[in-house]
């Protein structure tokens, strides 16, 4: 087996480990590590959640003395600063490694290229860039958040083939099939927060929960855009205490009495600027970022989705296309308002991917 083939194989294993923690490490990245000596794996690990040991530390502890003279395969550059855990690069320097293969530099300004430089100065052979494109996908939310402190925004909607999110009556259960709804639950689990508008709460009274057994113990937040504080104190999402807090964004003029009653129910009330009955979404995202919420799944409704698209605040979209025709001029679509003046000036999704789940087609794309 050639050196390159071996490197690819072990780095792919490191990424497989990193994937295990998808949705659980925020605001930290997902990272995997493999220690190899004489062609055999002697240590492995991944970062399980913020505050827990980083991937390379877990792998080196498992390898023990066998790390001397070994190669470490690491999906992301080792940190050089104190955070919730000590600098990982210090542990690497005492492990006796002969070589370190790093897939990607850490975009965190506190770390970027500094970890690799420390290893070089210590005389350890370091190679970078192998399968770096995998990190761009795996840690896309972290990459945006660590640079801007603004969460990565994903839009999600179930649509009929004629682009409708619901019938004119408002009924939308269920446009997509059970397999798509299961996939949507996994999408929720990969994000730090779910965001909806008040009309979705008033119409459907959703719990906005994670219902998969494998997501037990995950912390997440449920955010509601509610300019005038119309959220009923008996709403179902206020009765579910599991996970993170309910965050209600409202205008600065909404009644303080209602805010106090919602706080008594455990909700956090955040006042942001509003104009024309609509909240300042940039201010909303900044407030989420201040709370170390690195990724947000926006589930609608139509007005909320339209605002994110119009204001160019969305990074990614998932559309679930079901083999149905709903029709109706008043049936909502994910992009309403005035729309674009010309086709040439329309928004075009990039890096498209699509796949089928039974009868539905899932379209993934980036703005």
Q: 287-299, pLDDT tens digit by residue? A: 999 999 999 999 9
**In the predicted model, what is the mean pLDDT of residues 138-162?**
96
Closest CA to 235 of 210, 201, 268: 201
Mean pLDDT of the chain: 93
Size of the chain, expressed as the number of residues it contains: 367
Predicted local distance difference test score (pLDDT) of residue 1: 65
Distance between CA atoms of 32 and 22, rounded to whole angstroms?
11
Closest-CA residue to 56 (of 22, 104, 88): 88
pLDDT tens-digit series, residues 103-142: 999 999 999 999 999 999 999 999 999 999 999 999 999 9
- Dump pLDDT digits (tens) for 161-186: 999 998 988 878 889 999 999 999 99
pLDDT tens readout for residues 85-108: 778 999 999 999 999 999 999 999
- On the question of pLDDT at 214 being above 80, the answer is no
pLDDT per position as a tens digit, 44-54: 999 999 889 99
Of 6, 12, 56, 234, the catalytic one is 56
Mean pLDDT of 232-238: 93
What is the pLDDT confidence band of residue 347, given thresholds at 50, 70 and 90?
confident
What does the alpha-carbon distance between residue 48 and residue 99 come to, in Å, rounded to a whole number? Answer: 25
- In this structure, what DSSP letter does residue 227 have? T
The model's pLDDT over 51-81, given as tens digits with 9 standing for 90+, comes to: 899 999 999 999 999 999 999 999 999 999 7
Kindly report the pTM of this predicted structure. 0.92
State what percent of residues in the chain have pLDDT above 90: 80
Residue 227's pLDDT is what?
A: 97
Closest CA to 231 of 203, 201, 266, 268: 201
Q: Which of 55, 62, 61, 67 is nearest to 14 (CA)?
A: 55
Backbone dihedral angles phi then psi of residue 45, each to the nearest 5 degrees? 180, 170
Does residue 270 carry a pLDDT above 90? Answer: yes
Q: With bands split at pLDDT 50, 70 and 90, how would you rate the model's confidence at 240?
A: low
Q: What pLDDT is recorded for position 269?
A: 97
Active-site annotation holds for 56: yes
């Amino acid at each position: 087996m050639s050196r390159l083939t071996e490197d690819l194989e072990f780095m792919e294993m490191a990424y497989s480990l990193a994937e295990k923690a998808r949705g659980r490490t925020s605001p930290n990245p997902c990272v995997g590590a493999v220690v190899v000596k004489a062609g055999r794996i002697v240590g492995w690990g991944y970062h399980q959640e913020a505050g827990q040991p980083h991937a390379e530390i877990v792998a080196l502890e498992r390898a023990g003395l066998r790390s001397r003279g070994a190669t470490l395969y690491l999906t992301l550059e080792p940190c050089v600063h104190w955070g919730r855990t000590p600098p990982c690069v210090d542990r690497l320097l005492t492990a006796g490694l002969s070589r370190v293969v790093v897939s990607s530099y850490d975009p965190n300004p506190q770390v970027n290229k500094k970890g690799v430089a420390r290893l070089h100065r210590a005389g350890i052979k370091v190679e970078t860039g192998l399968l770096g494109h995998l990190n761009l996908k795996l840690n896309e939310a972290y990459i945006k958040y660590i640079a801007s402190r603004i969460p990565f925004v994903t839009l999600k909607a179930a649509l009929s083939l004629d682009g409708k999110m619901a019938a004119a009556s408002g009924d939308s259960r269920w446009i997509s099939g059970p397999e798509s709804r299961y996939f949507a639950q996994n999408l929720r689990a990969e994000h730090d927060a779910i965001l909806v508008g008040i009309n979705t709460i008033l119409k459907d009274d959703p719990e906005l929960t994670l219902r998969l057994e494998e997501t037990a113990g995950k912390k997440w937040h449920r955010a509601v855009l509610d300019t005038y504080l119309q959220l009923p104190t008996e709403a179902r999402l206020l009765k579910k205490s599991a996970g993170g807090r309910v965050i209600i964004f409202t205008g600065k003029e909404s009644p303080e009495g209602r805010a106090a009653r919602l706080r008594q129910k455990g909700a956090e009330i955040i006042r942001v600027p509003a104009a024309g009955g609509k909240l300042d979404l940039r201010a909303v995202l900044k407030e989420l970022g201040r709370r170390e919420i690195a990724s947000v799944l926006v589930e609608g409704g139509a007005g909320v989705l339209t605002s994110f698209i119009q204001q160019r605040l969305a990074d990614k979209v998932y559309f679930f296309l079901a083999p149905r025709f709903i029709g109706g001029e008043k049936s909502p679509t994910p992009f309403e308002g005035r729309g674009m003046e010309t086709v040439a000036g329309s928004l075009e999704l990039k890096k498209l991917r699509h796949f089928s789940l039974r009868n539905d087609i899932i379209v993934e794309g980036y703005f």
